[in-house]
Structures are given as C-alpha cells and as structure tokens.
Amino acid sequence: MEKKTIVARVEVLPGKEQEFISKAEPLIQETRAEEGNISYNLYQNPANPVAFIFYEEYKDQHAIDIHATSTHFRTFGKAIKELLASELIIESF
C-alpha cells in the first residue's frame, strides 16, 4: 500500500476559531466518507487557539487527487478565506 499523509497547518484570525471549526465540520465528515480516505482529523492547539492542523491519511496519491478536486474541499476553501490569518502550510509524507 502506498499510504500518503498530509499535515495542513493554518492560523485563523483571533475570534474566528469557532466559525472555522463550524465550516470544517462538513469537510471532515464528507472527506471521511471518501473511498480512499483512511483518516481525517482537525486539531486545535490548546496553547495557541488560533492554530489548527488537519492530519490526513489516504490510501494513495490518487485518493489525494480525488479529495483535492472534490466539491466539499473547494467549498471549504472558499468559505474560510476571510477567516485566515495566513496561508495554509501543507506538507506531504
């Protein structure tokens, strides 16, 4: 198996933490239902509540490609633009 892991780091504007989480919930649920998804979790840093990471595991690169072009992923990306304090940092392993 060619398992792939993605860690996406993001910081939101102060006071926008709950709105960000609310907008992420549909993304999380729909991504977990994708055939090639192994796990998909959002974590908030307790020491710095504006900092979040998405920890994502997929069967292979094809599963990542499907996720990246999904409607729920694109919708989330548009919905959070005004909430971000900086650009997302995305790492693949």
Q: Residue 42 belongs to what H/E stretch? A: strand 37-44
What is the pTM (predicted TM-score) of this model? Answer: 0.92
Pairwise pLDDT comparison (30 vs 2), residue with the higher score:
30
Q: Residue 10 belongs to what H/E stretch? A: strand 4-11
Listed in sequence order, the residues at least 6 apart from 65 whose beta carbon sits closer than 8 Å to its beta carbon are none
Of 81, 58, 82, 88, whose CA–CA distance to 70 is shortest? Answer: 58
Over the stretch 17-71, which tens digit does the pLDDT of each residue have? 999 999 999 999 999 999 999 999 999 999 999 999 999 999 999 999 999 999 9
Helix (H, G, I), strand (E, B) or coil at 17: helix
- What pLDDT, on the 0 to 100 scale, is given for residue 1? 62
Structural domains present in the chain = 4-92 (3.30.70.100)
Listed in sequence order, the residues at least 6 apart from 40 whose beta carbon sits closer than 8 Å to its beta carbon are 28, 31, 32, 54, 55, 56, 57
